[in-house]
Amino acid sequence: MRITILGNNAAVPAFGRHPSAQVVTVYNEDILIDCGEGTQTQMQRYGIKWRRLNHILISHMHGDHYFGLPGLLNSMSLMGRVEPLYLIGPAPLMPILHSILQVADTVLSYPLHFIPLPEGDALVVDTPVFSIHCFPVQHRITCHGYLIQSKHKYRKILPEICALHQVPVTYFDALKQGADYVNEQGTVVPNALLTLAPTPPKKYAYCADTLYTTSFLSFIQGVDAMYHESTYLQVDAVKAEARFHTTAQQAAQLAAQAQAKLLLLGHFSSKYKDLAPFAAEAQAFFENTLVTTEGRTYEL
């Protein structure tokens, strides 16, 4: 699993930073989380291929989190997409998209399946490769975060070792699922000798725009990484609370309580050009904190 940051600024573009958007890659499939203005341009800039994109998650109905969506949907249609696309987001999102498409007499070239978010938490996507849960956060309007969990893949075959023990290729599927091999002489060749263990499942939490709160702590407990908004520094904590946002220090305190392995900071206010103070402030409370950089990919 890896996370590529396309936009990490709050509200408006500033200092070369763009509104919220990021791509989570699980094995060979991409998941787009939020789609602020300029997202498709950022995708092109950083080599994100829309052909690998089958799921888009929108956290809430503030424009800096979805204004790039109509353009992206239309562009994929113009480029001939035929594969279904699954869009998960607030219920009011789909009527807006319908209106935009209708007034332009646009018919998408692919099926668009919309999954409206519930009021609370829920499993919203479940594939053989990953699952996605949503959970409510506390923002000025209804807003959800997302927990993406990869699943166990099959064990990896060691072809040279299998050849040495004369394991037929027709038995490889059984090996991938953990079976030992019994040869014609009745000798058991342990699976662990013939294969490598699959990559352990990973958990990634996207904590969308929110007040500092522990209300969703149970959903992010023990995650391999969490992205948490840090719109303000602690000196502006009063402003953060008034605007239903979080400071870098507060994000770090939550990461410590969640026992996360890595904290990624983003959604920075345009009042700050220099982001170095965000790292310093957060690392005092949670050492393994990174200030995100657009275009950078973070491997879990």
Distance CA 141, CA 119 (A): 12
Residue 212's pLDDT is what? 98
DSSP 291: E
Say how far apart CA 255 and CA 287 lie, in whole Å.
Answer: 10
Find where tokens 């037929």 sit. 168
pTM as predicted: 0.89
Residue 30 bears catalytic tag: no
Confirm if 210 and 232 have CB atoms less than 8 A apart.
Answer: no
What is the model's pLDDT at position 166? 94
Residues 6+ apart with CB under 8 A from 217: 254, 257, 258
What was the pLDDT predicted at 198? 83
Residue 278's alpha-carbon distances to 230, 282, 285, in angstroms, are 8, 6, 12
**pLDDT value of position 292:** 98
Q: Where in the chain is the domain with CATH 3.60.15.10?
A: 2-153+199-299
Among the listed residues 34, 64, 121, 224, the single catalytic one is 64
CATH architecture of 2-153+199-299: 4-Layer Sandwich (3.60)
Tell how far CA 21 is from the center of its chain: 9
Per-residue pLDDT tens listing for the chain (300 residues)? 999 999 999 999 999 999 999 999 998 899 999 999 999 999 999 999 999 999 999 999 999 999 999 999 999 999 999 999 999 999 999 999 999 999 999 999 999 999 999 999 999 999 999 999 999 999 999 999 999 999 977 899 999 999 999 999 999 999 998 999 999 899 999 999 999 988 789 999 999 999 999 999 999 999 999 999 999 999 999 999 999 999 999 999 999 999 999 999 999 999 999 999 999 999 999 999 999 999 999 999
Pair type for strands 130-136 and 156-157: unpaired
pLDDT at residue 150, rounded to an integer = 96
**pLDDT of res. 105:** 97
- Residues 6+ away with beta carbon under 8 Å from 255: 226, 228, 263, 286, 289
pLDDT score of 154? 84
Instruction: Quote the pLDDT of residue 285.
Output: 98
Handedness of CA 186, 191, 192, 194 (dihedral sign): positive
Largest CA distance in the chain: 75
Question: 112-132: buried (b, 16+ CB within 10 Å) or exposed (e) per residue?
Answer: beebebeeebeebbeeeebbb
